[in-house]
Amino acid sequence: MKSPYVYIVVRTDLTLPQQAVQSSHALLEMSRQYSTQSHQHPSIIILGVKNEEKLKDTIIRLVRHGKIQFTTFQEPDIGDEYTALATVPIYGTDRDFFKDYRLIDGTSKSK
C-alpha cells in the first residue's frame, strides 16, 4: 500500500507562529470532519501561499478538481479570514494537484 499524505496550505503573509497555529487549526478541523479509515500515519506536507486571495484560489481549484476532500479554517480573531486548509490523507497521483505549490520556507512573511 502506498503511503498517505496530508497537505496543509497556509498563508505566508502571517507570522511563523500564526502559520503554525493556523495549520494546526486546519488539521484539527479536517480530523473532526472526516473519519479516515487508514491506520497508517500520514506524512504531513505544509505548503505556503502568499495571502488570503491565493488561498481562496486554491479552495476554488480543489472544489473544481473534485477528487480531494479538504477543510478550511477561518480565524475569528482576524475577521473570519481564511488562513489555512488541510486535506484528508491522499495517495498516488492525487498528490499531483499540489506539484506547483511550494513548501513554507521558514521566513516570517513572504514579500
Structural domains of the chain, with CATH: 5-103 (3.40.1490.10)
pLDDT per residue over 28-84, tens digit each? 999 999 876 666 889 999 999 999 999 999 999 999 999 999 999 999 999 999 999
Strand 43-49 with 5-11, pairing? parallel
Q: Centre a 10 Å sphere on the Cβ of residue 83 and count the other Cβ atoms it contains.
A: 25
Please give the grid coordinates belonging to residue 48: 505556503
Q: What pTM, to 2 d.p., does this model score? A: 0.91
Sign for the CA dihedral angle at 63, 65, 71, 75 comes to: negative
Residues 32-56 as b or e (16 or more Cβ within 10 Å = b): eeeeeeeeeebeebbbbbeebebbe
